[in-house]
Amino acid sequence: MKLIRRYIGQQVGAAILLVLAVLLGLDLLSKLIDQAGDLSERYTLWEALWYSLLTMPGEVYQYLPFAALIGCLAGLGTLATTSELVVVRAAGVSVTRIIWMALRPALVITLAGLLIAEFVAPPLAQRAESHRAVAMQKEEVSISKYGVWHRDRDNFVHFNAMRQDGVLLGVTIYRLEGATRLLSALFARSARYEDDHWVLEGVRETRFAADRLQQVEELERRWDTELSPSLLSILMLEPEDLSISGLWRYSGFLEAQGSNAAEYRLAFWNKVTQPIAIISLVLVAASIIFGPLRQSSMGSRVFAGVLIGIVFRISQDMLGPSSLVFGFAPIYASMIPIGVSLLAGWLLLRRRL
């Protein structure tokens, strides 16, 4: 039994890793193509490649459900095509035991992907985003294409880039009174963090009075805000690129400020429920192998798996924004496709269990 478990685990695990490698390779090529329009003397092809490589670990966890689905289909499908599963069944191994044998390597790979997403990918992604933003930064440009916006109570803050040493470049602060009246617009060449506050350097401010405009220039100015370098480093990344702990911490910070944190809560639940999603898709893959398509060719099974994976991803991508628009809990947007997959897999397999 131990030999059978190891053999099935190796077949399925190798197939999952192969599919994951193919997906990451396609993603790398896609990122390079997307950056073709940004190439310049300051941001070269090698820097674009370096950016793409640094952000690749963050994609591992995102692609794992699809890789687990297709990998289990390919691994178990190969064993079914060569009649090895028939021999395993004849040896007294139940379908439930075979599914568990296929699920074990998927869970091990998922755990490795989770550790990468939590501890490796976020700092690498922050380094990549910082490097690109600094390379694309131009002097005297107040709003950069790769900058970040943030609402700080009654202020709207934008910074063009954040260097690895925590220095902000191109800081713009709009101070409002209420929802409609603009009090001032400030631009600082850079900002450094000291103790519990920021020091703005090269400040140019325009103050909007009732009957006139006032221009103010200062070499340095103190800026008191709850934004720390650690929070700003989180803000630099898209929600799906953050760690689970970072998502929880930053969404709590936004809620404490009275800001909408639904997007970060959604990303948090998507990451937390990812292992359950992988279990559900492995169950679907097993239902394809042992269920209605067990007599079909390998190509038909893989094609069916690809369609199921696409539908699963589209449903998540549709329900996620829907939760933001209609205001229902983000956890429902994450769990509904998973629940449907679990139910469908169980219904297709119940005659074989």
**pLDDT tens digits, one per residue of 194-214:** 988 999 999 999 999 877 889
Q: Is 174 part of a structural domain of the chain?
A: yes
Q: Is 147 part of a structural domain of the chain?
A: no
Out of 59-63, 94-98, 146-150, 158-162, pick the least confident: 146-150
Same domain, yes or no: 199 and 92: no
The predicted pLDDT at position 142 comes to: 56
Percentage of residues of the chain with pLDDT beyond 70: 95
Same domain, yes or no: 169 and 282: no
Q: What residue type is assigned to position 228 of the chain? A: S
Same domain, yes or no: 116 and 174: no
Q: Is 188 part of a structural domain of the chain?
A: yes
Domain count, the chain: 2
**Rounded distance between C-alpha atoms, residue 94 and residue 54, angstroms:** 43
What pLDDT, in 10s, does the model give residues 295-341? 667 778 788 888 999 999 999 989 998 998 888 889 999 999 999 99
What pLDDT, in 10s, does the model give residues 87-101? 888 888 888 999 999
The predicted pLDDT at position 352 comes to: 59
**pTM greater than the 0.95 cutoff:** no
pLDDT over threshold 80, residue 237: yes
pLDDT over threshold 90, residue 164: no
Q: Is 178 part of a structural domain of the chain?
A: yes
The predicted pLDDT at position 190 comes to: 93
- Print the domain residue range for 163: 154-225
**Rounded distance between C-alpha atoms, residue 127 and residue 144, angstroms:** 18
What pLDDT, in 10s, does the model give residues 115-149? 999 999 999 998 998 888 888 776 555 566 678 88
Same domain, yes or no: 173 and 274: no
Same domain, yes or no: 38 and 92: yes
Two tokens, residue 31: 């990122």
The predicted pLDDT at position 132 comes to: 87
Domain termination residue (choose one: 225, 244, 272):
225
Same domain, yes or no: 126 and 166: no
CB of 51 within 8 A of CB of 124? no
Same domain, yes or no: 15 and 126: yes
Same domain, yes or no: 209 and 333: no
Q: Is 239 part of a structural domain of the chain?
A: no
Same domain, yes or no: 341 and 312: yes
Two tokens, residue 252: 């709590």
Domain termination residue (choose one: 225, 244, 271):
225
Same domain, yes or no: 120 and 189: no
pLDDT over threshold 90, residue 59: yes
Edge-to-edge strands, sheet with 197-208? 148-152, 155-162, 168-177, 181-194, 197-208, 213-223
Same domain, yes or no: 175 and 312: no
User: Looking up tokens 């933001």, which residue turns up?
Assistant: 324
Other residues' Cβ atoms within 10 Å of the Cβ of residue 186:
22
**What's the burial of 143, exposed, middle or buried (CB within 10 Å: 0-12/13-18/19+)?**
exposed
**Rounded distance between C-alpha atoms, residue 274 and residue 67, angstroms:** 12
Q: Is 253 part of a structural domain of the chain?
A: no
What pLDDT, in 10s, does the model give residues 33-57? 999 988 888 889 999 999 999 999 9
- pLDDT bin (cut points 50, 70, 90) of residue 178 is confident
The predicted pLDDT at position 349 comes to: 83
pLDDT over threshold 70, residue 233: yes
Residues 6+ apart with CB under 8 A from 276: 335, 338
The predicted pLDDT at position 351 comes to: 65
**Rounded distance between C-alpha atoms, residue 267 and residue 272, angstroms:** 9
